[in-house]
Amino acid sequence: MKTRFKIRILLILALPMFAFIAELYAQNEAVSWSAFDMGFAVSSPSSNFAVKSAVGQSFVGTTLLTNTFIESGFLADTLFRGPVVAVHEGNEFPTAFALYQNYPNPFNPSTTIKFDLPRASPVSIKLYNILGQEVATLLNEDREAGRHSLVFNAANLASGIYFSRLQAGSFSDAKKLILLK
């Protein structure tokens, strides 16, 4: 399976007598770093990740995570002459099919339905009433891999309990929606 990454770039300014503390939130873990007088250090609350460096030196990083990569470099001929640190945060694309609970729920009259596709697939999302009768087809098209959402407006439906059913390839899942008017 091919792994895809999203790149984020952090610019750390190397200014004499300059210090700051900041936090980076990456996939549910806060990574704190501090910059002190022409250099910086990075540390994580977990023991799986630690990075330390100073301006003019090679960027040194250690990690036990297989999907984390660290690179460094310098900006040439720019206003800010400091190291650039790019952190590939891991796989930003879903690894499994998923249908999430709509929100808000209960709703009136519109709600958002989110779903994940690990690969391009034909997708069908249908709405059923409490008796199992199909009320509407919300989506019926091919979609690329990724995280998707759609807004459903139920202004023409009566209050009640409905079910949204996602069919993508051989995957199928359903969620209960409550419409209160």
How is the chain split into domains, by residue range? 5-91, 98-179
pTM of the model: 0.51
Helix (H), strand (E) counts: the chain: 0, 15
Q: Which of 107, 94, 98 is nearest to 151 (CA)?
A: 107
Select the CATH number that applies to the domain covering 98-179 from these four: 1.10.260.40, 2.60.40.1930, 1.10.238.10, 3.90.1140.10.
2.60.40.1930
Calculate the alpha carbon distances from 109 to 16, 105, 154, 159, 177 in Å: 57, 10, 5, 9, 11
8 A C-beta contact, residue 52 and residue 44: no
pLDDT 10s digit of each residue in the chain, 181 long?
Answer: 444 444 444 444 444 444 444 444 344 444 444 444 344 444 444 444 444 444 444 444 444 444 444 444 433 333 344 454 555 555 577 889 999 999 999 999 999 999 999 999 999 999 999 999 999 999 999 999 999 999 999 999 999 999 999 999 899 999 999 999 8
The two tokens of residue 180 are 């209160």
Q: Which of 2, 9, 3, 40 is nearest to 22 (CA)?
A: 40
Total residues found in the chain within this entry: 181
State how far the Cα of 157 lies from the Cα of 133, in Å rounded to an integer.
Answer: 13
